Amino acid sequence: MTDGLPKLALAHFGGAWLLRRDGREDEYRHPARLLDETLERGFNAIAVDAFPHLVAPRPDGVVLDRFEVIRDHREYLAQPRKALLELMRMASERNLKVWLTSRFLADTQSRRSFVRRPRDFVDVWSHTLRVLQQHDLLHPVVAVDWCEHFPLPPVAHGVQRALFRRQPNPLTPLLPWSPAVERRVEQYLHEVPRALKAVFPTVRFGLSVSGGSERHLRKLDTSELDFMDRHAFLDDDPRYALLTGAPVKGFAGRVAGALQGRVASAAWRARKRQWRRQQEDGLHEFSDFCRVRRMTPALTRGYVRLGSEWQADWDFVREVSDFMVRAALGQDIPVITPALYARPHTPALWDRRDWLRELNGLITAPAR
């Protein structure tokens, strides 16, 4: 197994740390205060989207730092390079570790469309990490997930035509891969981490997987990946998803989303023993797979997906999260988040300070 990944209790800020700074969505306007609150809750690391395709120069070498990032059909004015340096400086001052990732969000200049080949991923991440290095801010970075859920859409937008010979398609996770597709994907799995590790040997490079991507990547050569990060959710199980209406929650309104959440909590409690056993088996299988492949297993996102946070059953969310953290610890997984919704823009869980301190204390406790 690759050395170098300490026990991390991760607060998953994602891209919100950059985008939710103005107007009614201003929870990240004061990053220093938020990082202090992060420490108070027992976290020792944060996971953030580094927006490498925006931090890096354009293909013609021009450096820009003013973008309109598109998320959920809204445009957000952002300065990713300046903001990333500010956040990294504050994290360094507080001895917080940083887990970098990216969902390659769209912007009005379509910068993500230019990240297509293995060398494009190497270029944008090399530029981003070199900027941090030049400002003596690389040392907090412990790991880089160089493309969430690679190679599935919508995150791996630029590679869809190169890999699958078609435009981004929401059905891609459900379709079988031909041997030719597998060979093309393996080229990325080999070349991207190998090139980045040669330049940044103190950083670990790997990938996060979802239910759709994990089953494909397990068939491939992952020898160059230092870690695999499983984003584990209850509704990854198609039986749970169909039972709770998860496939339609992305199209539901506020009231329907709240109802879907109630159905999900009822389904959990009605067959709790069954769902717990399935999650334990899944974590055991994942952990064993990583160790056989000499990768460090991580669990940085999970474990309940809500159709709406409005009138959500937070007792259900906390119960599932508590169970998943303890199950992951039982598999000696060193990098764990207590819950996806344990973040500043979800006060229902962020304000549960004692609960978070307890779980994070378990995650970071020294091995016996």
pLDDT digits 0-9 by tens, 264-301 = 899 999 999 999 999 999 999 999 999 999 999 999 99
The whole-number average pLDDT for the span 243-262 is 64
Give bridge partners of residue 11 from the DSSP assignment. 46
Higher pLDDT, 165 or 163: 163
Report, at the CATH architecture level, how domain 8-364 is classified. Answer: Alpha-Beta Barrel (3.20)
* Average pLDDT for the chain: 92
pLDDT at 261: 78
Helix (H, G, I), strand (E, B) or coil at 281: helix
Band the pLDDT of 165: cuts 50, 70, 90: confident
Given a contact cutoff of 8 angstroms between Cβ atoms, the answer to whether 45 and 100 are in contact is no
Kindly give, in sequence order, each residue whose CB lies less than 8 Å from that of residue 72, ignoring residues fewer than 6 positions away: none
Residue 345 has pLDDT above 70, yes or no: yes
User: Which H helix or E strand runs over 71?
Assistant: strand 67-71
Gap between the Cα atoms of 290 and 298, Å rounded: 9
3-state helix, strand, coil in the chain (%, to 5): 50, 15, 35
- Give me the numbers of helices (H) and strands (E) for the chain, helices first please: 14, 11
Residues 35 and 28 sit within 8 Å (Cβ to Cβ): no
231 strand-pairing partners: 301
Query: What is the model's pLDDT at position 253?
Result: 61
Q: Would you place residue 108 in the very low, low, confident or very high pLDDT band (cuts 50, 70, 90)? A: very high
> What distance separates the 2 farthest-apart alpha carbons in the chain?
58
Identify the weakest region by mean pLDDT among 144-153, 218-227, 251-260.
251-260
Give mean pLDDT, residues 329-344. Answer: 97
- Do residues 106 and 156 touch, judged by C-beta distance below 8 A? no
**Type of residue at 2:** T
H helices present in the chain, as ranges: 16-19, 31-40, 52-55, 80-93, 118-134, 160-164, 179-199, 211-217, 238-244, 254-270, 272-292, 314-330, 347-350, 353-364
In this structure, the dihedral spanned by the alpha carbons of residues 267, 273, 277 and 280, taken in order and rounded to 10 degrees, is 80
With b meaning 16 or more CB within 10 Å and e meaning fewer, what string describes 166-197? eebeeebeeeebeeebbebbbebbbbbbebbb
Q: Which residues contact 105 (CB under 8 A, 6 or more apart)?
A: 15, 49, 51, 69, 70, 71, 112
Q: By three-state DSSP, how is residue 134 classified?
A: helix
Position 153 scores a pLDDT of 85
Q: Is 136 helix (H, G, I), strand (E, B) or coil?
A: coil
List Cβ neighbours of 190 (8 Å cut-off, separation of 6 or more).
Answer: 221, 223, 224
Phi, psi of 130 (to 5 degrees): -70, -35
Q: Average the pLDDT over 34-54 and give the result.
A: 98
Mean pLDDT score, 132-140: 98
For residues 12 and 49, what is the distance between their CA atoms, to the nearest angstrom?
A: 9
Residue 289's Cβ-side half-sphere holds a number of Cα atoms within 13 Å equal to 20
Half-sphere exposure of 184 (CA within 13 A, CB side): 16
* Average pLDDT estimate for 172-185: 87
Q: Which two tokens stand for residue 362?
A: 């378990």
pLDDT bin (cut points 50, 70, 90) of residue 2 is very low
The reported pLDDT for the residue numbered 257 is: 67
Q: Is 96 within 8 Å of 38 (Cβ atoms)?
A: yes
pTM of the model as a whole? 0.94
Which range has the worst mean pLDDT, 111-120, 161-170, 315-324? 161-170
- According to the model, what pLDDT value does residue 1 have? 37
Tens-digit pLDDT profile for residues 111-123: 999 999 999 999 9
